Amino acid sequence: MSYKIYLHDTETDCIGSGALSSAYIKQQLEAAAGADVEVHISSVGGSAFDAIAIYDLLKKYPGKVITYIDALAASAASVVAMGGQQVVMSKYALLMIHKPMVGSGGNADELLKDVQMLNVVQSRLAQIYMDKSGLDGLTINSLINSVTWMTADQALDLGFIDSIDDYNSPITNSALIQKYTDTAPAVYQRCINKNLFTPAKAIISLPR
């Protein structure tokens, strides 16, 4: 059974704080002790640096990691989602990427340093998206600069995710019948299985 980790925003926490911080995820992965891990994400984002730290933790984890986008993986949360060996997205979910931001003030020199820092951060985020999707840098940066919202179908087409969870599993008539006959007495199960689950022989009629 997989060890489940939930990165769902709360009223006070998002990526980088509380149960969505890299420190907490590190504890959770240590507790998983190499077992397969499912990381469920529903977040508007948060700290880009903490997101990269969580991404690195997931990539270095010795067990199998599957990330699930349950409702929203926006901004920094989209970076975390890329950390799975497999990325699965709900058919109803959204994925959003955009330019990194900083809230600061100061003189022109200080603001210029912020711009330089943001450009470096964007290059690192872009590389993560490139590594996952296989898209080139020009395309990825164009998507980032445009503030791109993706449905599951769009994210799949662009290579950001590996599959879509549509919650539907194929059900056949035989499967439905089997469900209700599994608890029948053994003698009846043998008769049912013989008549319903054994391929029928073709009947050939000859002209008279």
Catalytic residue numbers read: 75, 98
Structure tokens at 112: 């210029």
CB–CB of 22/57 below 8 Å? yes
Angstrom distance (rounded) from CA 199 to CA 96: 50
Q: Which residues contact 125 (CB under 8 A, 6 or more apart)?
A: 48, 52, 79, 97, 100, 144
Beta bridge partners of 66: 38, 86
Query: Contact, 8 vs 40, CB < 8 A?
Result: yes
Residue 174 and residue 182 in contact, taking contact as beta carbons nearer than 8 Å: no
Beta strands in 44-181 (DSSP E): 65-74, 86-90, 94-97, 148-150, 163-165
Strand, coil or helix: 2: coil
Residue 49 and residue 80 in contact, taking contact as beta carbons nearer than 8 Å? no
Question: Encoding tokens for residue 162?
Answer: 């590996």
